[in-house]
Amino acid sequence: MKQKPTLKVIAKELDVSVSTVSKALRDSKEIGEETKKKVKAFAKLYNYRPNNIALSLKNKKTKTLGVIIPEIVHHFFTTVISGIEHYANDKGYNVIVGLSNESFKKEVINLEMLANGSIDGFIISVAKETLSFKDFHHFSETIDQGIPIVMFDRVIDDIECDKVIVDDVKTSEKAVQKLIDGGCKNIGIISTKDYVNVGRLRTEGYKNTLNANHIKIQNSRILKIDDKFNSDDNLEFLEEQIYTYFEENEVDGLFTVNELYAITAMKVARQKGLTIPDDLQVIGFTDGVLSRHAYPSLTTISQHGFEMGEESAKLLIDRLENPNEEEELFKTIVVKTDIIDRETTKLRNPKK
Amino acid sequence: MKQKPTLKVIAKELDVSVSTVSKALRDSKEIGEETKKKVKAFAKLYNYRPNNIALSLKNKKTKTLGVIIPEIVHHFFTTVISGIEHYANDKGYNVIVGLSNESFKKEVINLEMLANGSIDGFIISVAKETLSFKDFHHFSETIDQGIPIVMFDRVIDDIECDKVIVDDVKTSEKAVQKLIDGGCKNIGIISTKDYVNVGRLRTEGYKNTLNANHIKIQNSRILKIDDKFNSDDNLEFLEEQIYTYFEENEVDGLFTVNELYAITAMKVARQKGLTIPDDLQVIGFTDGVLSRHAYPSLTTISQHGFEMGEESAKLLIDRLENPNEEEELFKTIVVKTDIIDRETTKLRNPKK
DNA sequence: CCTTGCAGCTACAACGTTTTCGTGTTGATA
DNA sequence: TATCAACACGAAAACGTTGTAGCTGCAAGG
């Protein structure tokens, strides 16, 4: 086991000073050709790599991004991470991942754990619990310390920072309109409680479209699932709620704010003897593995998570590398969405 | 925007030395009660947190684990990451994620990018390309530099390091036996090319069980998918191969080495008019979202990814914190597997 | 009165870099 | 011969922290 060589040991070995070695390796013109060649050869031989930590300390930047998400076992978030990784790696940045598990406390801990100089900036999707508590001090404090934050998907309006979102309202309008155009008369929505902004906005789009089509809104057709900050073993709970929903509502079109709700609803519908898409058409949000491989395969809205990740990373790195340029001018990037036509809807959209 | 306070500014402000501040905060008995109280109050007020980077440099350890996996958009890997995160966070470690995308080159780059002092050790699942090239120099060099590696799932026998695996052979034997017990006469397997060790081992188990039951092995019933180092848009390719497979083989029982193969096979089987599980029983490997929400829901083998992650992190952190104790005595932990009975098999196992 | 001990604090080195500012040697120029 | 620039290199500081060793003043013991 040979230890990593440092400038110091190279210097001693070659009987020159540390500064000379450093400069030689960086090809400074202060150093003679001879010496440069000698040093470089030696460095190569011993596989010298500058110590990142020392560089971080000196430069006061770590070239590392902190990503804090509610959950990693979730297709949307992993595609976003892929996007972040892709862009960040390209720019020479590393990505360090923190999981909040939808918990406020874990989010705070993760933030603090990383805000000690370990990372240059954050990319965050806010935990449900945090959204429900409405306690955002950890974000403002972090920003106050000069550490920039980019929020994506689950963002907080009151926090001033860069954001990457989809146009939830418009997208949901498109989806519901599609159901209407496909012949649905009684359209329902399965959403989340209102403190989750994306749920609220998507519900808003649903209502807008009904209004625009002069269809009366029936509140019983709006199911707001409270998934208690964890999406693990509450599958039965979810099924129950949806079962009751179907008991009380006769719908022929259904829009859900994520794919799990859609898949589960299809399962329940099947139990009740409905066929899809003949008796019931379904559109989900977020294009994940479930949608693609469901039977019948689910028509969904693609959020383009990969792009969202890339945009988030770009926003953050731009801000890191061009500080106080356009200071305090925070951007919100709206990533476009697409409806992916599959088997749970009748109408095919020829126009992309 | 207030900058992070350092020991130095606290010292200056309080008109004591830096060492005094440091010691006061660490409750050293060298410092008088008065001074301690004063310093602590001040530190609290200004929300002082020791700079992690400086500590890392001094202690020569970063309290950060590097995880390099082939892909993150994959349920198994994300559950493993969850497990790693869980254990690591508990022990005060951070997790930095690198994606190889099944590419040898990216794996090497990621390793080098992190081996510069950024992390204390690695947890790795090897890229398919690396397995096929059989070029493992980057691993041995890393270990040689004193950076420990733990490999999980896709491991390399020739590299001496800690490993966390499932007993692929035994597990696959169990699964195939279950198909036999469930009345299947013609059992096939969809696996990967042999350079992927897990694929090879699972195929081995399949053969073992057929032999043990005096069933003749037919090579045409063994389909080895070559997914070309990426699992993205080769879905049609996969479907094609499976379609041909079904054309050439009449099977009533199918074991696949992952859930995607199983789901796809079910889809193709359905197209060919087979009903599941009446005409065809299926068991997959890796319990993911697909299996649970498929229709019919898929009987699978649970690899307990979360546990594998925890075990990997434990192995690594143990080694980091107790160096040269049991030096060179590498462990291989075999995590148990379970068959999760669902709707694609006929026989229900009452015994867990 | 001189040592010894101790409490309470400070100075300094070290971790590995980079960078600024020397400094000595050469050769050319006035 | 004195001056000066160019060249090749070294010393030292800095990033923020901790641990060791050293320093001061005071009280107790001989």
Chain A nearest-CA distance from B53, in A, is 6
| Chain segment A149-173, per-residue pLDDT in tens | 999 999 999 999 999 999 999 999 9
Sheet with B338-340: strands ordered across: B222-225, B187-192, B253-256, B281-285, B299-302, B338-340
**Cis bond before residue A50 (omega within 30° of 0):** no
For chain B, the average pLDDT equals: 93
- Residue-level pLDDT at B325: 63
For residues A316 and A322, the answer to whether their CB atoms sit within 8 Å is: no
Residue B82 with chain A: CB contacts under 8 Å: 72-73, 99
- Residue-level pLDDT at B236: 84
Q: What is the DSSP letter of A324?
A: T
User: B72 and A50: CB-CB below 8 Å?
Assistant: no
- Residue-level pLDDT at A2: 74
Which residues partner with A282 through β-bridges? A254
User: A97 and B99: CB-CB below 8 Å?
Assistant: no
How many CA atoms, within 13 angstroms, populate the side-chain half-sphere of residue A57? 19
With a CB cutoff of 8 Å and minimum separation 6, the contacts of B199 are: B191, B192, B193, B224, B257
Count CB-CB contacts under 10 A for residue A173. Answer: 20
User: B144 and A2: CB-CB below 8 Å?
Assistant: yes
Q: Give the distance, in angstroms, between the CA of residue A296 and the centroid of all CA atoms in the same chain.
A: 27
Encode chain A (352 residues) as per-residue pLDDT tens digits.
Answer: 677 899 999 999 999 999 999 999 999 999 999 999 999 999 999 999 999 999 999 999 999 999 999 999 999 999 999 999 999 999 999 999 999 999 999 999 999 999 999 999 999 999 999 999 999 999 999 999 999 999 999 999 999 999 999 999 999 999 999 999 999 999 999 999 999 999 999 999 999 999 999 999 999 999 999 876 555 567 888 999 999 999 999 999 999 999 999 999 999 999 999 999 999 999 999 988 899 999 899 999 999 999 999 999 999 999 999 877 666 789 999 999 999 999 999 876 544 3
Query: How many CB pairs below 8 A link A and B?
Result: 149
3-state secondary structure of A122: strand
How many CA atoms, within 13 angstroms, populate the side-chain half-sphere of residue A259? 26
Residue A8 with chain B: CB contacts under 8 Å: none
Contact of B2 with chain A, judged by CB distance below 8 Å, is answered with yes
Helix B197-212 / helix B168-181 crossing angle, nearest 10 deg? 40
Residue B144 in tokens: 């040689």
For residues A176 and A163, the answer to whether their CB atoms sit within 8 Å is: no
A19 touches strand C (CB under 7 A): yes
What whole-number distance in Å separates Cα of residue A347 and Cα of residue B34? 78
B116 pLDDT tier (thresholds 50, 70, 90): very high
- Residue-level pLDDT at B68: 98
Chain B nearest-CA distance from A34, in A, is 28
For residues B247 and B184, the answer to whether their CB atoms sit within 8 Å is: no
Q: At B342, phi and psi to the nearest 5? A: -135, -145
For residues A248 and A220, the answer to whether their CB atoms sit within 8 Å is: yes
**Cis bond before residue A296 (omega within 30° of 0):** yes
User: B52 and A146: CB-CB below 8 Å?
Assistant: no
Which residues partner with B121 through β-bridges? B65
For residues B198 and B154, the answer to whether their CB atoms sit within 8 Å is: yes
Type of residue numbered B215: I
What is the total residue count of chain A? 352
Q: Which candidate in A67, A94, A264 is best for mutational testing of the B interface (most B CBs within 10 A)?
A: A94
- Residue-level pLDDT at B351: 41
Q: What is the DSSP string of A160-203?
A: -SEEEEE-HHHHHHHHHHHHHHTT-SSEEEEEE-TTSHHHHHHH
Q: What is the DSSP string of B260-321?
A: HHHHHHHHHHHHTT--TTTT-EEEEES--HHHHHSSSPPEEEE--HHHHHHHHHHHHHHHHH
Count CB-CB contacts under 10 A for residue B244. Answer: 12
- Residue-level pLDDT at B4: 86
Section B141-161 average pLDDT: 96
Q: How far is the CA of A254 from the C1' of D20 (A)?
A: 72
Section B72-81 average pLDDT: 95
What is the total residue count of chain B? 352
Count CB-CB contacts under 10 A for residue A136. Answer: 14
How many CA atoms, within 13 angstroms, populate the side-chain half-sphere of residue A292? 14
Residue A141 with chain B: CB contacts under 8 Å: 47
**Closest residue on chain B to A109 (Cα):** B89
Q: How far is the CA of A5 from the C1' of D24 (A)?
A: 42
Count CB-CB contacts under 10 A for residue B172. Answer: 29
What whole-number distance in Å separates Cα of residue B69 and Cα of residue B99? 5
Sheet with B64-69: strands ordered across: A332-335, A162-166, A149-152, A121-124, A64-69, A94-99, B94-99, B64-69, B121-124, B149-152, B162-166, B332-335
For residues A35 and A24, the answer to whether their CB atoms sit within 8 Å is: yes
For residues A60 and A119, the answer to whether their CB atoms sit within 8 Å is: no
User: A118 and B78: CB-CB below 8 Å?
Assistant: no
For residues B99 and B110, the answer to whether their CB atoms sit within 8 Å is: yes
What whole-number distance in Å separates Cα of residue A234 and Cα of residue A255? 21
What whole-number distance in Å separates Cα of residue A270 and Cα of residue A277? 11
B78 pLDDT tier (thresholds 50, 70, 90): very high
Pick out the nucleotide with least CA–C1' distance to B51: D16
| Chain segment B264-282, per-residue pLDDT in tens | 999 999 999 999 999 999 9
Q: Which candidate in B94, B242, B290 is best for mutational testing of the A interface (most A CBs within 10 A)?
A: B94
Which domains does chain B carry?
Answer: 7-50 (no CATH), 62-166+305-337 (3.40.50.2300), 168-302 (3.40.50.2300)
Pick out the nucleotide with least CA–C1' distance to B7: D16
What whole-number distance in Å separates Cα of residue A34 and Cα of residue A38? 6
| Nearest of A331, A333, A349, A351 to residue A341 by alpha carbon | A349
Which residues partner with B333 through β-bridges? B164
Pick out the nucleotide with least CA–C1' distance to A7: C16
Count CB-CB contacts under 10 A for residue B253. Answer: 25
Q: Which of A38-47, A286-295, B25-34, B139-148 has the lowest mean pLDDT?
A: A286-295
Q: What is the DSSP letter of A27?
A: T
Residue that the structure tokens 């148990």 belong to: B336
With a CB cutoff of 8 Å and minimum separation 6, the contacts of A28 are: none
Residue B70 with chain A: CB contacts under 8 Å: none
Count CB-CB contacts under 10 A for residue B286. Answer: 26
B231 pLDDT tier (thresholds 50, 70, 90): low
What whole-number distance in Å separates Cα of residue B316 and Cα of residue B320? 6
Q: Give the distance, in angstroms, between the CA of residue A280 and the centroid of all CA atoms in the same chain.
A: 31
- Residue-level pLDDT at A231: 52
Q: Burial of B134 by CB count in 10 Å (0-12 exposed, 13-18 middle, 19+ buried)? A: exposed
A26 touches strand C (CB under 7 A): yes
